[in-house]
Amino acid sequence: MEISVVDREEFVDGPAMENLIRLIEKILLYLDLSARSELCVSLVSDRDMRELNRQYRQIDATTDVLCFPQRSEATPYLLGDIVISYETAVRHSRKLEITVEEELRLLLVHAVLHLLGFDHKRKKEREAMREKEKEVLDYLAEAVCLGTMFYGEEKTRK
């Protein structure tokens, strides 16, 4: 897998960055994505996210996550780009009384599912996406409890 994480603002330090990459790997492995999969995740400021949201969605406000799918029949391994506002993730985590890592986990699962074609515009689509999110998040929570999230043997979907 080729996973790149861009963090020009240096929101995340070395060990946390390694854990973030490992988390992304776990998500992709669980979803049975090819070992050839390519994904880029960028952590940006609210200011940068607002600009991207304005440019691509014509919404003049920040948001937590944006996804730019690139997958096609010709390049099924090229998943796309995920952009996360780290500052928004921090605010949301405080409001929800969870860790920033937990919020990033949720945002990454949500975003990867978007890259795979899941959506939440219609009720039926939303239910399917929420169900898949819960499935992946439950797996990740189990991996954390078992200590295999960041270390240990790989465990793929049953």
pLDDT band at 147 (very low <50, low <70, confident <90, very high): low
- CA pair distance 91, 81, nearest whole angstrom: 23
Q: pLDDT for 68-105, tens place per residue?
A: 999 888 877 889 999 999 999 999 999 999 989 999 99
**SS3 category, 135:** helix
**SS3 category, 82:** strand
> What average pLDDT does the chain have?
88
**The pLDDT of residue 73:** 82
The full set of domains in the chain, from first to last, is 2-146 (3.40.390.30)
Bridge partners, residue 38, by sequence = 2, 78
Q: pLDDT for 97-141, tens place per residue?
A: 998 999 999 999 999 999 999 988 889 988 999 999 999 999 998
